[in-house]
Structure 1
């Protein structure tokens, strides 16, 4: 690959940039998580970010 292709591979995204997060969870959890986002009228991304903030607040 050319130099530019290599540079792009090594580029670190800006912390505010939206990027994909990909990991596996049990099918039932996925269904419940999606339903919870719908129930609360938020995106799945917003729900996950809120849950992480709460987790950090509790753990200190």
Structure 2
């Protein structure tokens, strides 16, 4: 029969399991982090430019229709 754990026993078991799982994590190296960061920055800048251009175009189309 399984031993029933108390409140602090459950907490201790949880942290032991967390420690065990963290050992299994494949952490990225510096080169991977740098390249992924550059990709994210370029993507964000491209999306900002795209949304800005669409916003300006729609504003120039809709503004004359409203006024």
Q: Provide the TM-score with structure 2 as the length reference.
A: 0.33
Which structure has the larger Rg? 2
Q: Provide the TM-score with structure 1 as the length reference.
A: 0.36
